[in-house]
Structure 1
Amino acid sequence: MSNYSYHRLSLSPHLPTFPSPTPRNRRLFLVVAALLGSLVIVTSGWVLFRKDDSELRGWMEPTPTGYLASTSLSLEGGDRDFLDKHGELREERETKVMGGKEGFYFFHNLYHLNGTFYAISNDPSIFPNTTHITHADPFIVLSPQEATYLFYAGPKETRVVRSELLKGGTLFFSKSGWNGTISPYHWLIEVVMSCYMVFATLSKNSVYPRRMINEGDGWRGAYSDLNEYILDLLAPHTYMRDTPAWEAMKEAGNLWMFDEIVLFDRWAAQETSLDDEGRRWNKVFGGLYEEVAHKVDWFEPLRDLVKEKLGVVDPTRKHQPRVTYINRQITNQRNMLPADHEALVLGLEAVKAIDLTIALLEELTPAEQITLALETDILLGLHGAGFTHMVWMKRGSVLFEVFPSDSFARDYEMISEPLGIRYHSIHNDTVFDWKADGVREIQVGPDFSAHSIPAAAQTLLDLLAQTLEEGGNWSGK
C-alpha cells in the first residue's frame, strides 16, 4: 500500500526531534497525568456521565456510572507507554490495518483523543490515503516517539487525562455524507449490516462487535421506532453509544484505544471508491462483498440472535413455501396500478401450494414486520423501503422486485448475493436482466415514485410458478 499518501502531524516547534524519553521523565509524565486525571474526576462530580440511569434505553451500552466506562479497561502504569525498554514500539500498542475498502476500513489498536483518530506505527506507508478512511474526522499517523511525547508531554490540548481500552470490537459510524433523517434501508443495510459484514469477516475475536458508536443523530427522526427496535434486538451482544455519548467521550480528555474497529464513512465509501461501483449505483457498499467479505455465513449469527429474541423457529427442511406480498396501495407514492394489484391478489390467492400473506407493513409493529420476514420464503412487491426486511429472510429465499419500466436500482439486488437470496427484477410484463441489458448505473426515471405503476399480474404469477417448480429452502434445496 506504499502508493497511498498519509497525514503526518508536525509537532514543530514543540519537538524538533523525537528521542525516546528517559525512564525518569517517563515516570514523571505518568505521575503528573495520573494526578491530573484524579483531580478532574474528584472536582467534576462525574459531570461527563449521565447520572440518571433511567434515561438509558435497552440498546445503550450499560456502564457503572451511566454512559462511558463499561467494558473499558484502564491502561495503567507502564501500559500507557508505546515503547518497550529498548525504545521499540510495543507490538500490543501498534496500529494495524486488518482489511476493508474505502469507507469501511478495519483497524486493530486505533486510538482516539479529543475528536481525532490516531494510528501509531513505525511504517506510515501501510495506511491508506486518509480521504479513503474518513472525511469528517481527522486521522493522523504518529510514530511511537511522537505519540509518547504528544500524549504525555506535548501541548496541553493533546495531553491525556486517562487511557481506556475499549475491548470487544466497535463499529463507528461517521456523520459524513448524511443529510437529514436516515431511513431503515440506509440505517440497517448501508450502515449497520455493511459494517457488520466487514467485522464478522475480519475479526479474530468475535462474531459480534461489542458496541456501535453513532456520530450523527439522523437515524432517529421519522423512523426511530423501527431503528431503535432493531438496536434492542441486537442487545446485549451489541450496544449503541449514540451522539451524546460520543460527544462526552470526545470531551473527556481520555485516550481511547479500540482493540478492533470498523470506521465507516459514507462520503469516503461513495466518493473515493477505486472501483467506481458506489458512485455508479449510488450505493456505499458497492463492491464490499466481492472485495472484502467472502465469508458465506457471516449474517447467520445475527439472524439467529433475532430469531431467539422473537421466538421464531425455522420450519423443518421441507415445508409449504411462505409467500409474502407487500401491499403498497395505501402509501402516498409508488403504488401499483389498481387493476394489476387486484389481479395479482386474486391470482396469488388461487395458488394452492403456498402459505400466503398480503402485508400492509404500516399496520404492523416492528416486531411483527421482522417476524414476518423471518418466516417468509418468497417476498414480492414494488420497489420500496419494505424490502429492507429481506435481510431477515433465510438463505435460499427468493425476492421479486417490481420497478417502473423506466427505472432500476440495485438497492436490494446488491445485498441479495451476500445474504444468499435469489433475486429477480420485473419491468411490468418482463423479467428484467440488468446485466444482459448492459445497464451500468442507477436509472431513476420520471415514474420511479409514481402512482399507478403497471405490473402485469400474469408475469409475476408465471415467475412464481417457475420458482416453486425449481424449489428453494422450502423444498430441501
Structure 2
Amino acid sequence: MSWSNWVQALSNSGSWEKFRSKRRNTNILMISGCIFLFLISTYLYTPNAFHFDLIIVNEIRLGKPTQLVGGVPGFYVFQDLWYRNGTFYAFHENVTDVPLPEKDKIMSGPHTIMTRPLSTQEELMDSQIGQIRYFNGQTIFLNDGADQYNWSYLNWFYHLAAEALLGGIVSLGLSNDFLEEGVPRLMIPWEGNWKDGYGINDGMVKGIFGKDLVERNQWEMWSISGEWIGFEKMVIVDRYASHRHNPIANEWNKMSLPIFEELPSPPPPFFAPYRQNLLQNLHLSVSTARGRVGKALNDVPKIVYLDRQETSRKLSDEDNDGILGVLRDLEKDGKAHVGVPHLSEMGFKNQVKAIKDADIIIGIHGNGLTDQMWMPEGGMVIELFIPDAFLRDYQVLSQALGHRHIAIWNDRILPPSEWKDIDGQMNPTLMHDGTLIPLNTPFIQTLLEDLIVEMNQHL
C-alpha cells in the first residue's frame, strides 16, 4: 500500500486523529525531556553549583546587628550585611544611629543601601518570597561593573590582582589583625567579562580560590528569584568610591594605595596562604619563607630578568645585551642563578613557576612586574624607568607584599625621598611613547653584586 493510500485509509477509519494525537503527545514528551535534560545539565555545570559555603538561616542566625568593622572608602568591611534584589540591608537596634558611611563612599552603581530596625528583620524576611542564604566566613565582593557608566578594569591582570583582589585581602586582614581565618570566597557579581584574553586572570582566580567563586550568572539567579543573601563578613571593593574619597588614590591613580598605607612596615606575610593555595592547585612545589627581609631563599640567590624587548617599551639593544652579559657572568661565577622569561609568550602556570623562587626581579615598568606576587615576601624588585618619569604602580605592590622596591634612572637609584615629593605621577607619557629606556651596564653590575652580598649576609 502506498503512503497516500495508507493515510487515506487511516483517515476513513477515524484512526488518523488518534495517530496524530499520539504522535503529538510523543513529540511533546520528547521536547519536554530534552528541555529537562538541558536545564539539569546547565545546573550541574554551572560553576560552583554545589560548592557554596552557605546555610539556610534559622532564628539563631537572625538578630545580629550590621556592623562596620574596618576599611577605608572603596574597601569597607561589614559584618552581617544583607542583600536582596538590588538593595543592601543594614539591620540595627536604632536606625537613626546605624554606623555606616554614606553609600557613595561604599559603592558605585544603582544599588541602594537601606537601614531597618533589627526587631523587624525576621518579619521582613518571612514576608518575602524566596530562600534565605547566609555565607559563613569571609567574602571579597568586587563591585567593578556595577556602574555601567564607568569602565571596569577587571579584565586587566594588574587591576584585578594587584588592586582589587589584594586590596580586598588587606582590608579583611586589617579588620581581623591578620588572625588566621583561611582564604575567603570571591564574588564577581556584575562584571561578566573579567577574564583576559591570555588566561591569566582565570588561572589566578581558580588557582587561589578554587570553587569558592560566585560569578554574575549565579548572582543574577539569586537576585531574580528574590532570595535574601547574608554575609557574616564581607569587604565591598569599589574602584571609583576609593578614587572619589581618598585623595592619595586620586593623586597617584592607585585605588588600593589608601588601604595599603594602613599596613604596618614591614607588613605581615598575609598573602602567603593565597600563594600556597595557588602553587598547590597548579601542582607546583611551595617555596619556603625567607629567614628575614632581603635574605636569599637558598644559598645562591635567583635573579629573574623580565625581558620585554619584543614590545615598544624596552631597552636599547646595546643596553639589553649589557644586562644579559652581566647576568651570564654572575651565573658563570656561581654568584647567582638566572632566569630570563618572556612572560608574554608563556602560559600562566609557567609564569608562576618562573617567579615563585625568585629573590630579585628586574624589569621595565610594565604589567610583568605584577608577577612579583608569586615571589615570597621580602624579595627585591628593581624597576627600570626613563629618567624624569616615575609611577607608583609596582612600588605600591612591593610595599604591600613586603618586597624592597628599587627604582632606577639609568645610572642611579631614585630614592623615595625624591619621588615622595612628586605631586602625583611624573611624566607618565614618557613611558608610553616608545622612548627607549637607558640602563648603564657598569651601574647595574655593581648594584647586583652588592645586593647579592647583602642577601647572603647572616644576620
TM-score by length of 2: 0.80
Match of 2:350 in 1: 368
For 1:271 and 1:51, locate their aligned partners in 2 and report how far apart those are by CA, in whole Å. 44
Deviations 1:326-372 (A, max 9, x none): 011112x3111121111111122112201011111122221010111
Deviations 1:149-168 (A, max 9, x none): 65444xxxxx3422111223
Letter in 2 for 1:174: N
The secondary structure found in structure 2 opposite 1:443 is coil
1:157-236 map, 5 Å: 159-175=128-144, 176=147, 177-179=150-152, 182-203=155-176, 206-223=181-198, 225-236=199-210
Q: 2:157·2:196 contact (CA, 8 Å) conserved in 1?
A: no
Q: 2:92·2:116 contact (CA, 8 Å) conserved in 1?
A: yes
1:42-441 map, 5 Å: 51-52=41-42, 55-56=45-46, 60-63=47-50, 70-76=52-58, 78=59, 90=63, 93-123=64-94, 124-136=97-109, 137-145=111-119, 147=121, 150-153=124-127, 159-175=128-144, 176=147, 177-179=150-152, 182-203=155-176, 206-223=181-198, 225-236=199-210, 239-273=212-246, 276-291=247-262, 296-309=268-281, 310-314=283-287, 318-331=298-311, 333-351=312-330, 352=333, 353-437=335-419, 438-441=421-424
Q: 1:122·1:144 contact (CA, 8 Å) conserved in 2?
A: yes
**1:476 to 1:61, Cα distance in 2 relative to 1, 3 A:** farther
For 1:364 and 1:347, locate their aligned partners in 2 and report how far apart those are by CA, in whole Å. 24
Q: How far 1:258 moved relative to its partner?
A: 0.8
For 1:431 and 1:116, locate their aligned partners in 2 and report how far apart those are by CA, in whole Å. 50
Letter in 2 for 1:143: P
For 2:184 and 2:45, locate their aligned partners in 1 and report how far apart those are by CA, in whole Å. 23
Structure having the higher Rg: 2
Q: 2:98·2:115 contact (CA, 8 Å) conserved in 1?
A: no
Higher helix proportion (structure 1 or 2): 2
Q: How far 1:387 moved relative to its partner?
A: 0.6
Q: 1:100·1:198 contact (CA, 8 Å) conserved in 2?
A: yes
For 1:117 and 1:197, locate their aligned partners in 2 and report how far apart those are by CA, in whole Å. 23
Deviations 1:103-139 (A, max 9, x none): 1111111100001111111243411122111122322
The secondary structure found in structure 2 opposite 1:97 is strand
Match of 2:454 in 1: 470
**1:139 to 1:74, Cα distance in 2 relative to 1, 3 A:** same
Letter in 1 for 2:261: E
- Which has the higher mean CA deviation after the structures are superposed, 262-271 or 442-451? 442-451
- Which has the higher mean CA deviation after the structures are superposed, 99-108 or 117-126? 117-126
The secondary structure found in structure 2 opposite 1:406 is coil
Q: How far 1:405 moved relative to its partner?
A: 1.7
For 2:108 and 2:151, locate their aligned partners in 1 and report how far apart those are by CA, in whole Å. 12
Identity of counterpart residues, as a percentage? 22
For 2:208 and 2:448, locate their aligned partners in 1 and report how far apart those are by CA, in whole Å. 33
The secondary structure found in structure 2 opposite 1:208 is coil
Q: How far 1:321 moved relative to its partner?
A: 0.5
Q: 1:406·1:448 contact (CA, 8 Å) conserved in 2?
A: no
**1:318 to 1:453, Cα distance in 2 relative to 1, 3 A:** closer
Deviations 1:159-185 (A, max 9, x none): 342211122321111124534663111
The secondary structure found in structure 1 opposite 2:167 is helix
Q: How far 1:464 moved relative to its partner?
A: 1.1
For 1:133 and 1:259, locate their aligned partners in 2 and report how far apart those are by CA, in whole Å. 17
The secondary structure found in structure 2 opposite 1:258 is strand
Match of 1:16 in 2: none
Count of residues in Structure 1 that have an aligned counterpart in Structure 2: 402
For 2:40 and 2:307, locate their aligned partners in 1 and report how far apart those are by CA, in whole Å. 44
For 2:350 and 2:415, locate their aligned partners in 1 and report how far apart those are by CA, in whole Å. 33
Task: Please provide the CA RMSD for this pair.
Answer: 2.7
Give the gaps of 5 or more residues in structure 2: 1-34, 291-296
Q: 2:162·2:370 contact (CA, 8 Å) conserved in 1?
A: yes
Match of 1:30 in 2: none
TM-score by length of 1: 0.77
**1:349 to 1:54, Cα distance in 2 relative to 1, 3 A:** farther
The secondary structure found in structure 2 opposite 1:402 is strand
Match of 2:439 in 1: 455
Q: How far 1:266 moved relative to its partner?
A: 0.7
